[in-house]
Structure 1
Amino acid sequence: MIDFVELRRGMVDGQVRTNNVTDPRIVAAMLEIPREKFVPAPLKSLAYIDDDLALTSGNAPRYLIEPMILARLVQLADVQEHEHVLDVGTGTGYSAAVLSRLAQQVVAVEEDAGLAATATATLAELGVGNVAVMQGPLNAGWAAEAPYDLILLNGAVDEVPANLFAQVKEGGRVVAVVGHGGAGQARVFTKVAGAMSERVAFNAAVPALPGFKAAPRFVF
């Protein structure tokens, strides 16, 4: 029988703590939340490896991004307990579960109907009461509950669309991996006087989120 508690502890000690994740709230959340509940049944034994796990297949497969990268993105976001957060591309809901331990309220958007249903059911099973899972296009965000203190994108994008920046409060942040493969960079965008400032924090290679390709630009 698999000892998921021991595997979870190994994930935190070997992947999270050793990669400059020092926020004790994130460490505690990842020690307590059963990641195996958010993984497809055939992959449960792999729930705590340091790699991305496929949630769907097809032309635009979806992934549960590796624990260390998620932890570093959440730490970069600097989530506060009073904040209203939008989790874009929540998949089966693991990222929303982690954010739920840090924020006051989380809106989790997922466009795949099956993944959204799984996220809703799993979060309910675990008694997570401050997350609302919404189904819709990822690149649209969720304007009905805006503005947000933080928007977190669970995957790589070519660019963050302007409509997501518009859903952030003054002083709010958007955290995303911009670029793909070895060119991916974790960035935090902060709204200051209505404009978005940008800071590159670290390199990160994560699977792409669908719907975030850059629009074609005219070149002279």
Structure 2
Amino acid sequence: MNFEQARFNMIEQQIRPWDVLDTDVLALLAVVRREDFVPPAYQSIAFMDTAVPLPSTTSPALQHMLEPKVEARLLQELDVRKHERVLEIGAGSGYMAALLGHRAQHVTTLEIDRDLARFARQNLARAGAMNVTVLEADGAAGLPDEGAFDVIVLSGSVADVPAALLGQLKPGGRLVAVVGQWPIMRARLFTRGGEHDFRSVDLFDTVAPRLRNFPEPSRFHF
């Protein structure tokens, strides 16, 4: 397989048409080798417009890498800067953390699944991502003991973003997540103003696998 041609096609045929036009983001996607973050059995679909499965022996639920165009669009909307600290929830393969690491001062990424945390660590070490830390942890509560973050990324979907997570943003900080219920979900960007001032804007419609242990709305039974 010609990975360089596949990468070029991914950028030009999937990502640019999805309004990802930031030249720094496009250049980064050309540099970070997505195929190195995909399980060997799925390398043939590493650049396709699909969520790549991430098998695990320690979790009953199958996890996935987000589609390349979704990752790229979220990266563009967050506009991460070199002085910023980033928290990611849902490390998966480590690919999104690697992208974030190129733009941030430091990235902490949380992964509840033991196999995937190990997989992400190996991939990030091989990619030379020295400013990314992978923690095996339940990310539903964030990292309240680590101070406030400039950017928080939920690499998966939730019914709603918990107030406790929003509270871990610095003033001016941004949080992005895919919010809603199947089949209607939207990528949403939250920005913190003052202590109790949060603004949100819907970015685009998409669907994404659920992050584990986040609250779901109660269901009524008759």
Q: TM-score, normalised by structure 1?
A: 0.93
Quick one: which amino acid aligns to residue 21 of structure 2? T
Counterpart mapping for 1:203-218 below 5 A: 203-216=205-218
1:39 and 2:38 are equivalent in the alignment:
yes
8 Å contact kept, 1:25–1:102: no
User: What SS does the corresponding residue of 1:170 show, helix, strand or coil?
Assistant: strand
Q: CA deviation at 1:63?
A: 0.5
Counterpart mapping for 1:14-29 below 5 A: 14-29=13-28
Alignment correspondent of 1:118: 119
Counterpart mapping for 1:161-200 below 5 A: 161-195=162-196, 196-200=198-202
RMSD: 1.6
Identify the range of structure 1 (12-21 vs 208-217) with the bigger mean alpha-carbon deviation: 208-217
Gaps of 5+ in 1: none
Gaps of 5+ in 2: none
Q: Distance in 2 between matches of 1:216 and 1:194?
A: 29
8 Å contact kept, 1:180–1:208: no
Deviation by residue 1:5-64 (Cα, 9 ceiling, x = unmatched): 111111111111111001112111111111111111111111100000110266422100
Quick one: which amino acid aligns to residue 31 of structure 2? E
Quick one: which amino acid aligns to residue 199 of structure 1? V
Quick one: which amino acid aligns to residue 98 of structure 2? A
Deviation by residue 1:114-172 (Cα, 9 ceiling, x = unmatched): 11111111111111111011110021222333310010110111011122112111111
1:7 and 2:6 are equivalent in the alignment:
yes
Q: TM-score, normalised by structure 2?
A: 0.92
Q: Distance in 2 between matches of 1:139 and 1:206?
A: 16
8 Å contact kept, 1:54–1:61: yes
Aligned residues: 217
Quick one: which amino acid aligns to residue 209 of structure 1? L
Quick one: which amino acid aligns to residue 218 of structure 2? P
User: What SS does the corresponding residue of 1:101 show, helix, strand or coil?
Assistant: helix
8 Å contact kept, 1:189–1:197: yes
